[in-house]
Each structure stands twice: as structure tokens, then as C-alpha cells.
Copies of this chain bind each other. A is one copy, B any other.
Amino acid sequence: MPQFLNSRDADFDVRFTALLGMKREDSPDVDEIVAGIIADVRARGDAAVLELTARFDRLELTAQTMRFTPAEIDGIAATVPAAERDALELAADRIRAYHVRQMPENELWTDPDGATLGWRWTAVQAAGLYVPGGLASYPSSVLMNAVPAKVAGVKRLAITVPTPDGVVNPAVLLAAKIAGVDEVYRIGGAQAVAALAYGTGSIAPVDKITGPGNAFVAAAKRRVFGKVGIDMIAGPSEILVIADADNDPDFIALDLMSQAEHDESAQSILITDDDAFGRKVADAVAARLETLERRAIAGASWRDFGAVITVRDLDEAAALADRIAPEHLELCVADPEALSEKISNAGALFLGGFTPEAVGDYVGGPNHVLPTARSARFSSGLSVLDFMKRTTIARMTPAALKAIGPAAETLAKSESLEAHGLSVRVRLDKLNEG
């Protein structure tokens, strides 16, 4: 059974705060092992990567066979059934159409003092995308990472995907092909992250690494951060559904389960203004948990971290949502737009009863790489901006320097940075002579 909370109860604040503070993930401390792997890859390059791949993935490769050839990719991708191919292409088209709109504008203007100011956005030159192997080898994640990178203009996009015992998910290769990925390597784990960050004889280094992974991959990404950029370190997935009594309890139950089935550490929370409806949803979840394929995982998640919260009204729901700062937020209420205006901390909003989060996971268009663990308070989902950087631009004219240079000189002196001040002063003196 999940927790049932009611905002009218005397102990509500205590219990809600405890719910917010729940530790859901107990990552093993693999940092020392990962540090050793990274050092090995830096020192020995391909040889280290090949040895580690033989050991962990039971796969003997060479520097030549580490990378899928275009013909291999074509051949394996061709085995994907037509329905899945069509679905991936529809998803890629929609994700592309959404992310193209995120392309930022360059700006350049002249201010009243005559200074030209602005900025210019450029794409990261090379990016690497980590794709997990095995059961979590999701083609949808390939699209969600690779399409924005290519929209941003990344020239060289490399994927690493471990293929334990040589097994690869053909849909992953098809998604890579559809997204325009340039290189795909049969490697994984911390050694793949190290190879992308530092390069090896046969893998050129990249500037940015994104994509999900296990504890080893997460630890490796943390360690190479600074040498390269990384995306967020994602925690277990979460959904918050705010629903009134005008919903089918079974629909809401399935939405809650679509997070719970990801991971025993996932969290699904329902907030409703109708206590009886909340009970009906919990009953519907119980019924679904009898037959769902992933009922062991989903059941554990719901039992340990699930919650049904009854509130007085939707304003209260909005205030609680802002404290939860959920990764995914469904608003299944009569006027979801109005309710959404009252909430600022959420990774992604799904409005109305016809927008199950699963649509957003695959084909909605917005990205499904989203901030977890309450980090929507300060961060955003993946976007084209994650594959771009902004260079600021300033150009002074003699008149502009005369107008604002003395203030710079004054501040430099006050901060005891003499050369800063002099670099302005010598130019002002020359202008004043001239």
C-alpha cells in the first residue's frame, strides 16, 4: 500500500516533509574502481578499453571492430519491424520539430554610448552519447539525446553502447541512424565514458557527454566533468499526477504505474481534491498490479515510495507540487492551463486527460530527459542549449571608451588591480592626446 496523506490532518506537514526527504536511491560507491578505469584508459587507450570490454562484456574486439561499420548498422537496423521503424521515424520527426524551435538567436546591438554588444551561439564541436546496454537500452533515449545535438549543429556525434556477449538492440542502431549519429562504438561502462572524454587511438575525444547509465557510468561522468561537459546525473524517475474526480481511476492508475514500472526506486504520487477518488485510484493500481508484466518492480515502487495525497483544493495542490518539483507533472483537471500557471517547479507538464506521460516519453516532441530528485527547482530538461555555448561580444569605440572607461579604471583601482586600470588608462590618454 502507498502512503495516504490528507492536508487536513494535524501531522500532514511532518509527513509531507518526510515524503519529500525520502532517500530513494542507494548508489553503490564505485568511485575508486571508476577512478582506476579512467586512469587505465588515459594511460593505455584502446588496449585498456578492449581489455575491459573483454572482461565486463565478454566480448573480444579489436581497435578495428570496436566501431560498427555503416554496413553493419544498416544490416542490423533493417531487422527492426516496420511498425517500430515507422514509430521511431514519427518520434524523431516530432522531437526534431519541437527542438528546432529552441534554437537561440544571436544578438548584436549598439548602445547609447556607441559600444557594440551582443552574443553569438555556436554548437559544441563533438559530443558523445552514452546508451546503456541490456534491458535499459532504449531507442527513445537515443532520439531524445541525439536529435537535439544534431539540431544544435554538433558536427561529430558519437554513441557508445555496450553489447554484452555481442548482443545489441537493433532499434538502438536504427534510432542512431535516423538521428544522424556519426559513429557508434560497441563499448560501455566507465571505460566508454573515459574513452569519449580523453580519446584513445581510435576514438577521438568529445567536448560533451550526455546520456543515462548505471552507477559506474554516473561516477565516470562526475569524474570527467570539467574535462568535458556533462548533462545532469539522473536519479530515479518520478511522476506527480494532480487529478480531480472527473477522471477514470484506471487511467490515472496506469499513469502512476508507467513511472513505477521503470525502477523500484521510482516514485509515483497522486494529489487529488477528492478523498474517495484517491481511494478508487489506489484500488485500480492494486488491480493493475495483479497482471502487469513488471508488477514486481512497479509494486515495490508503489509500496515503498507511492503516495496519495488529498488536499482541500487545487490551489493547495499547486503549492505542494512546487515543493515536490516533480520530473513529470500531469494536470488532469478541468482547466489545466489555469492550474499550470500556479506552478513553477516541474520538469515537464502534461495537460488534460488525453496527455498521458507516456505520450511525452516517446512522441510528444518535448524531451524526456528531465530533472529528477527535486532538481526542477533549479534545472531544466535536455534541450538544444545543452549542445551549444554562448560567446559574449563587446566592441568599444573611442567615444564609448571615453564614456565608460574611467568608471572601469576607478573600479580596478578600488579592487587593487593596477594593470586592469592601466590597460584602460593608456588608451584614454592616447585618445585624449589625439
With a cutoff of 8 Å between Cβ atoms, the chain B residues found around residue A358 in the complex are 408, 412, 417, 419-421, 423-424
Check A426 for interface membership: any CB of B closer than 8 A.
yes
B229 contacts A375, C-beta separation under 8 Å:
yes
Q: Chain B interface: which of A5-13, A32-40, A56-64, A393-401? A: A393-401
Asked if residues A394 and B350 are in contact (CB atoms below 8 Å), the reply is yes
Residues of chain B contacted by A343 (CB below 8 angstroms): 391
Interface hits, A350-364 → B, CB 8 Å: 350-364
Q: Which of B336, B366, B406 is A119 in contact with, Cβ under 8 Å? A: B366
Note all chain B residues with C-beta closer than 8 A to A412.
358, 361-362
A17: chain B residues at CB < 8 Å are none
- In Å, the complex CA distance between A371 and B225 comes to 13
Give Cα A414–Cα B407 distance, bound, in whole angstroms.
Answer: 63
Against B, the Cβ 8 Å flags (1 = close, 0 = not) of A236-277 are 000000000000101100110110111000000000000000
- Complex interface bits, A5-26 against B, C-beta within 8 A gives 1, otherwise 0: 0000000000000000000000
Minimum Cβ distance to chain B for residue A379 (Å): 6
Q: Does A279 contact B (CB under 8 A)?
A: no
- Encoded as 1 (CB less than 8 Å from any B CB) or 0, chain A from 106 to 130 comes to 0101010001110110111100000
Q: How many residues of A contact B (CB 8 A)?
A: 124
* A97 lies within 8 A of chain B by Cβ: yes
B396 x A355 contact (CB < 8 A): yes
Asked if residues A407 and B138 are in contact (CB atoms below 8 Å), the reply is no
Q: Are A390 and B395 in contact (CB under 8 A)?
A: no
* Contact with A363, one of B107, B395, B407, B430 (Cβ below 8 angstroms): B407
Residues of chain B lying within 8 A (CB to CB) of residue A3: none
Tell me whether A133 is interfacial, beta carbon within 8 Å: no
Cα distance, A208 to B376, chains bound together (Å): 11
**A81: nearest chain-B partner, CB-CB:** B414
Chain B nearest CB, measured from A171 CB (Å):
6
- What B residues does A421 contact at CB under 8 A? 358
Q: Is A79 an interface residue (CB 8 A)?
A: no
Chain B, Cβ-Cβ closest to A175: B411
In the complex, what residues of B have CB within 8 A of residue A257's CB?
Answer: 419, 423
CA distance A392 to B381 in the complex (A): 8
CB contact between A415 and one of B86, B115, B139 (< 8 Å): that residue:
B139
Contact B393 A340 (CB under 8 A): yes
Copies of this subunit = 2
Residues of chain B within 8 A of A115, CB atoms compared:
364-365
User: In this complex, which of A233, A373, A377, A394 has the most chain B Cβ atoms within 10 angstroms of its Cβ?
Assistant: A394
The yes or no answer to A1 lying at the interface (CB within 8 A) is no
The closest CB in chain B to the CB of A361 belongs to B420
Which chain B positions have C-beta within 8 A of A91? 407, 411
Which B residues are in CB contact (< 8 Å) with A390? 380-381, 383
A425 to B, closest residue via Cβ: B254
- Stretch of A70-78, A291-299, A311-319 with 4 or more beta carbons under 8 angstroms from chain B: A291-299
Within the complex, what minimum Cβ distance (angstroms) separates A397 from chain B? 6
Q: Is the CB of B292 within 8 A of A411?
A: no
CB closest residue in chain B, given A228 = B378
A416 with B293: in contact, given A407-B362, A426-B250 (CB under 8 Å)?
yes
Contact A378 B229 (CB under 8 A): yes
Q: Which among B88, B365, B366, B426 is the interface contact of A411 at CB below 8 angstroms?
A: B88
Instruction: Judge if A288 is at the interface, Cβ distance under 8 Å.
Output: yes
Query: Would you list 17 pairs from A and B whose C-beta atoms are within 8 A, ordered by A residue?
Result: A119-B366, A122-B344, A135-B416, A138-B415, A140-B411, A229-B378, A250-B426, A293-B418, A344-B391, A345-B389, A349-B393, A350-B394, A351-B394, A353-B427, A356-B424, A359-B405, A376-B391
| Ranked 7 nearest A-B pairs via Cβ | A229-B378, A366-B392, A351-B395, A122-B344, A87-B407, A257-B419, A358-B420
